[in-house]
Amino acid sequence: MSECILEGRGLTRRYRRPDGRTLTACRRVGLQLFPGETLGVVGESGCGKSTLVRMLAQLERPDEGELLFQGETITGLRGEALRRHRPHVQMIFQDSAAAFFPRMRVWDAVTEPLRSFHPLSRAQRREQAARLLERVELPVDFLDRYPHSMSGGQRQRLGIARALALEPEVLLCDEATSALDVSTQAQLVELLVSLQKKQNLSILFVCHDLALVQSLSHRITVMYLGTVVESLPSARLAADAVHPYTQGLLEAVFSLHTPPGKAIAPLSGEAPSPTHRPLGCPFHTRCPRRMERCSAEEPPTTVVAPGHTVACHLY
């Protein structure tokens, strides 16, 4: 197994609300991303996925923890050094409309990243833009259009094209498909997979749709209330998931193949507020199998099987 290309250790991020309370978005999150593989991150709204992505993209600095790229610590990078590091890790956003400046044309937007690193003439940039569009299977005559005149799916491809401009090693997708309809989602996922094969791209795919994540990822990390509760190869998800939360998620998934009479078993209760994290295991308030320990002690991350970790007192 090659060494991981992007690694996060103990990443913690807190926000101070204007009324004085602290919101913990991420707590001691660790993950590893390997070259050429896709890591899926799932969880409910408010579980800290987006914050995690931002930290990985270095749009925000973790309050605690480290970030490593190809084994080197990059958490301390600032200013120009940080900027110079950017080409390695790129990002795609959920709302493709908001991700593009309304007044920039496609060719300009897609090659904008290049401006800050390789000064090119206008003609050269248009050439580059055309090439990038090709790679994401967008027609070349889109060059002079405005992003808002495109459909959501096309725009998301555009986002990918822009992200690819700097030839990154890592691509972070923050709910990139959530705003698209199902068929478009499938097309986008196909594109991502093919790109990954072609250039050995590492993809971090954040999503709340378990089924979609499973179809795309090599490994899956499950988050709850800012912590990682389970991490395992995606092929083994249905079979091997042990954390009560993951099991609850699996039970709650609707599938076309679910027999009609099957009972729906939603998880009871609601996720607590991230400003009032319960002591001990964050899930214990809703866990059907909680014990005494769970409300007092935080469960450590243990390895249950090769490539499979869990944070639960049951194991």
Q: Which residues contact another protein by CB under 8 A?
A: 19, 54, 57-59, 83-84, 86-87, 89-91, 93-95, 98-101, 103, 112-113, 115-117, 159, 162, 165-166, 273, 275-276
Nearer to another protein, 26 or 109 (CB): 109
Nearer to another protein, 172 or 312 (CB): 172
Q: From CA 115, how far away is CA 83, in angstroms rounded?
A: 13
CB of 315 to another protein, least distance (A): 32
Task: Answer for the pair 40, 205: CB distance below 8 angstroms, yes or no.
Answer: yes
Nearer to another protein, 41 or 89 (CB): 89
**End-to-end Cα spacing for the chain:** 26
Q: How far is CA 20 from the centre of its chain?
A: 29
Q: From CA 235, how far away is CA 118, in angstroms rounded?
A: 41
CB of 217 to another protein, least distance (A): 22
CB of 101 to another protein, least distance (A): 5
CB of 93 to another protein, least distance (A): 5
Percentages of the chain per state (helix, strand, coil), in multiples of 5: 35, 25, 45
Nearer to another protein, 5 or 294 (CB): 5
Nearer to another protein, 59 or 140 (CB): 59
CB of 211 to another protein, least distance (A): 26
Q: From CA 191, how far away is CA 239, in angstroms rounded?
A: 28
Report the C-alpha dihedral over residues 232, 238, 239, 245, rounded to 10 degrees.
70
